[in-house]
Amino acid sequence: MDRRDFLSLGGAALAAFLAACDSEGPRAAKGALEFASRTNQDVEEALFRHLTMDHVKRGGRLAGDALPRYYVSPSVPVWDPSIRGAWKLEVGGAVANPLTLDMKDLRGLPSVTHRVNHYCVEGWTALTEWTGVRVSLLAKLAGARPDAKFVDFQSFDSGYHESWDLASALHPQTLICYAYGGALLTPGRGAPARLHSPVKLGYKSVKYLTRIVFLPHQNGGYWTDRGYEWFAGT
Amino acid sequence: MTDDTYPAGSTTGSPGAAAPARATGPREHDGATDAEASPRARHHWVVRLTHWVNVLALAVMVASGLRIFNAYPAFAPRGGTFCCYPLAGHPIPAWLTFGGWLAGARHWHFAAMWLLVANGLLYLGFLYLHGEWRDLAPRRGDPRDAWEMVQFYLFARREHPRQGKHNALQKLAYLSLLVLAVAAVTSGIAIWKPVQLGWLTRLLGGYVWARYWHFLAMFGLVALGLVHVFMVLSVDPYSIPAMITGRYRSDRSPEHRNARPFYNLFGGGRTEGAEVVHADAAHGARDRASPEPAGTESVAAEPEPDAPQATRDAPYEETAE
């Protein structure tokens, strides 16, 4: 192959590459990307350790009000008791005794207040302080069955939900939170209660919670169905 | 002076040096007869393969990484500040990015990382098993050799310093690329798994700093890569076919052509007259006048028999296919 051959071949390859591109790159690469994505999920699950904790920097400054407010509805989702009745959190699915907790029940459970990082998929982090109940405690109270391998967290924010692998959901730093920075959640922060954990990227931490469903199968999620990675562990 | 251990004159390896104009003694490893100037094996197929795979993998990693970066083109944590990034808030121009949107770019980034790492490990394994790490390993004489190259490029020196497979500046650049690549992968893993591999993240100063090191390593790789391409095009375009076919005509080496960027691109720059004058007169005078230890001038020194120059001198013959 002389130089001219090489150049023309290279040019043809480049043209073919560009022609096969949509905005996300060459379509032919889709299979390879999906394979890599599946492999990465296996690697992420293998790396996951139940007792590996997120640590925050000593003396770090809490993000406080600088933590962005975020929801997918056109306006802040607010639970209006006059329309929907009193807010309740259902814990169901593959469990022995389904629970229905109102805010009083939830706040009556043993709680955790901790400072952890919030890792956003966009690349920023925030030092945050949350108060809430461990998902692992709710799983124990509801008696999650052995066939429960995934947990789907559902909300009243226009159908926003995300399903998690059980191990990450039962991580000690995965909380159903009702307070942020020492004050009860405001509607902008996911009131009345939201999920938060440093072991997954922010979009997996569902706000405006209504139901926690233990499942034998994965159930995708709002961003997952739109092309973001499902596992999204940190 | 310890410098004598590695007389610059011993750094041959470029068979072109056998030109008769070299009045000051034959060089070792002349290998190919320069009358024919037959192409010689220069790059093993593993090196060629990993070089071009690396071009592809790095391009995808950089462009998709910049698209990911654009989702938050800053480093400060929420509610905090960051000292060292003046362009905070300014996204990278879209035409430099790849992946279309954040999720798409992340899929590309986390797929191409395997290609980059596997390719890098293959290359490093080859370097080790084949002994070619010696072409890149820093040596005591390198700063001096590099300074000579700088002088040559700045026209403060007439003759191209003698060199092995690479000149000292090249060695520095290629070694830096390796170090930066390792830094990029390490810091990348730290921001991929800041909790599960939190010890690594904390080692790098926490998530924000690890992300910053990742960015700087990328920047260094891109900058050195651009310099590399510039030098290839302006000094040694003959190395492009060499990186494809593996074969290189040594009479076209920059050392043989006395080539600086855009100088002597097509023909040998050395004339016999200039060579002789340099070797006989200028060189001798300089040795007396210069505070540099004897032996730094390339053509003068006799290689010491015990100096470990065997490694340094090794011409590229082991890998002939």
Which residues of chain A have a CB within 8 Å of the CB of B101? 23-24, 227
Q: What are phi and psi of A4, to 5 degrees?
A: -65, -45
Which residues of chain A have a CB within 8 Å of the CB of B206? 57
Which residues of chain B have a CB within 8 Å of the CB of A199? 195-196
- Compute the nearest-CA separation of B90 from chain A (Å): 15
Half-sphere exposure of B129 (CA within 13 A, CB side): 10
Sign of torsion, CA A125 A118 A123 A207?
Answer: negative
Fold type of domain A64-226: Sulfite Oxidase; Chain A, domain 2 (3.90.420)
Contact A37 B196 (CB under 8 A): no
- Compute the nearest-CA separation of A25 from chain B (Å): 6
> Average of pLDDT values for A5-9?
59
3-state helix, strand, coil in chain B (%, to 5): 55, 0, 45
Q: Are strands A209-215 and A88-93 parallel, antiparallel or unpaired?
A: parallel
d(CA A125, CA A233): 14
Which residues of chain A have a CB within 8 Å of the CB of B88? none
d(CA A206, CA A190): 8
Domain-wise residue ranges, chain A: 3-47, 64-226
| Res. A127 pLDDT band, cuts 50 70 90 | very high
| Res. A4 pLDDT band, cuts 50 70 90 | low
Does any CB of chain A come closer than 8 Å to the CB of residue B72?
yes
| Res. A11 pLDDT band, cuts 50 70 90 | low
> Closest chain B residue to A58 measured between Cα atoms?
B206
Which residues of chain B have a CB within 8 Å of the CB of A124? 72, 74, 76-78
Count CB neighbours of B93 within 10 A.
Answer: 9
Which of the two residues, A113 and B317, has the higher pLDDT score? A113
Close Cβ partners of A122 (under 8 Å, ≥ 6 residues apart): B71, B72, B102
d(CA B65, CA A75): 32
Which letter, b or e, does each residue of B162-173 get, where b requires 16 or more Cβ atoms within 10 Å of its Cβ? bbbbbbbbbbbb
Of B98, B103, B208, the CB nearest to A25: B98
- Compute the nearest-CA separation of B227 from chain A (Å): 22
Is the preceding peptide bond at A192 cis, omega within 30 degrees of 0?
A: yes
Please tell me the predicted confidence (pLDDT) of residue B268: 62
CA–centroid distance for B74 within its chain: 31
d(CA A179, CA B283): 80
Look up the pTM and report it: 0.80
Q: What is the per-residue pLDDT across A129-188, written as a single tens digit (0 to 9) for each?
A: 999 999 999 999 999 999 999 999 999 999 999 999 999 999 999 999 999 999 999 999
Please tell me the predicted confidence (pLDDT) of residue A31: 86
Contact A37 B111 (CB under 8 A): yes
Token pair, residue A52, equals 């590996």
Close Cβ partners of A82 (under 8 Å, ≥ 6 residues apart): none
Average pLDDT, 10 consecutive residues per value, chain B (321 residues): 37 39 39 53 92 96 97 94 93 94 94 96 95 90 92 92 89 94 97 96 96 97 97 92 89 88 77 40 38 42 43 41 37
Per the prediction, chain A carries an average pLDDT of 90
> Closest chain A residue to B95 measured between Cα atoms?
A23
d(CA A113, CA A116): 10
Contact A67 B78 (CB under 8 A): yes
Token pair, residue B266, equals 């097509």
